[in-house]
Amino acid sequence: FLSVVSTTWHGNDDDVYRAPPIDRALLPTAPRAAREPNIDRSRLPKSPPYTAFLGNLPYDVTEESIKDFFRGLNISAVRLPREPTNPERLKGFGYAEFEDIDSLFQALSLNEE
C-alpha cells in the first residue's frame, strides 16, 4: 500500500503554504517482528536438503542450543564447522537442516534474532 500525502495550511490572508509530500511507504508501519518475513519462496529449494546458513554465531554455541533456538520446527541436523588448526574452536557459522520446506521458511523468518 503506497500513498503520498500533502499537507496544506491557510494563512490569515488566505495564502496557501504547502509542506512537501510525505511518502508514507518510507515510514515504519509496524515493528519488524509484526511484519511478514521478506523471503522469496521461489528461491527456496524444491526438494531436500532444506538447509539454512547460520552466521555470526558465538564461538561457544552448541548443537543443543541451536536445536533449542529452533524448538517447534522440524530440525534434522546441525553442523558447526571447526577451525582446522584448533579443533576446539568453532568457525562462527554453521548450518541447520530441516525436514520440510515450511520449517526452513519459519527458520529463515527468524533472521537477526
Average pLDDT over residues 68-82: 96
Exposure of 106 in the CB half-sphere (CA atoms within 13 A)? 13
The domain ranges of the chain are 42-110
Select from 3.90.550.10, 2.30.30.100, 3.30.70.330, 3.40.50.300 the CATH code of 42-110.
3.30.70.330
Mean pLDDT of the chain: 79
pLDDT of residue 19: 59
Q: Cα dihedral angle (32, 35, 39, 42), rounded to 10 degrees?
A: -170
- Residue 38 CB-density burial (10 A; 0-12 exposed, 13-18 middle, 19+ buried): exposed
Q: Which three cell numbers stand for residue 79?
A: 553442523
Rounded to an integer, what distance in angstroms lies between the CA atom of residue 64 and that of residue 31?
Answer: 29
The pLDDT tens digits of the residues spanning 5-26 come to 434 444 555 555 565 665 655 5
pTM over 0.95: no
